[in-house]
Amino acid sequence: MNKWGFLLLLFIVVSCTQQPEPLIAGKDSCYHCKMPVADTRFGAELITNKGRIYKFDDINCMILWKNQPENKDLKFNNVLVVNYFDKTDLLEAANAIFIKSADIRTPMNSGFAAFKSEENARKVLNEYGGDIFNWEKVVATYP
């Protein structure tokens, strides 16, 4: 491969890579339910292999949208959830710890909140009650 071909390939790869974008309350809207994002602590984000970003106001909106038949074949580089204790920290969903509690008021009433560590999750669990989930268990709660 010549120098120009390599540079073109490098440009294509770099241009398709997208960094996560923290949700901004009052500016962003949920791609699934179209509601304005009001409380970013419960948000989520998908980034496709082509670099397109989809933002959601609640973890369940992301899962419901992703599970729609027309979206089943989309490939994602990142499946991200917002860290409850740091609204600008987007965590890979597969590495996050989740609490589901009827007493946690989320935008679409899923009751799910995401945490970077089990220690942080247990702080909220002690306050609100509920159950600890991993990502696979969260996804399994949706048909």
Return the domain boundaries, the chain: 24-140
Confidence check: pLDDT of 16 > 80: no
pLDDT at residue 10, as a whole number: 47
The torsion region of residue 93 among left (phi > 0), alpha (psi -120 to 50) and beta comes to: alpha
pLDDT at residue 72, as a whole number: 87
Q: What percentage of the chain carries pLDDT values higher than 90?
A: 85
CA distance 25 to 107: 12
pLDDT digits (tens, 9 = 90+) for 84-95: 999 999 999 999
CA distance 112 to 132: 10
Closest CA to 63 of 18, 31, 95, 17: 31
pLDDT digits (tens, 9 = 90+) for 89-136: 999 999 999 999 999 999 999 999 999 999 999 999 999 999 999 999
pLDDT at residue 18, as a whole number: 83
Segment 57-86 shows an average pLDDT of: 96
Closest CA to 63 of 81, 39, 50: 81
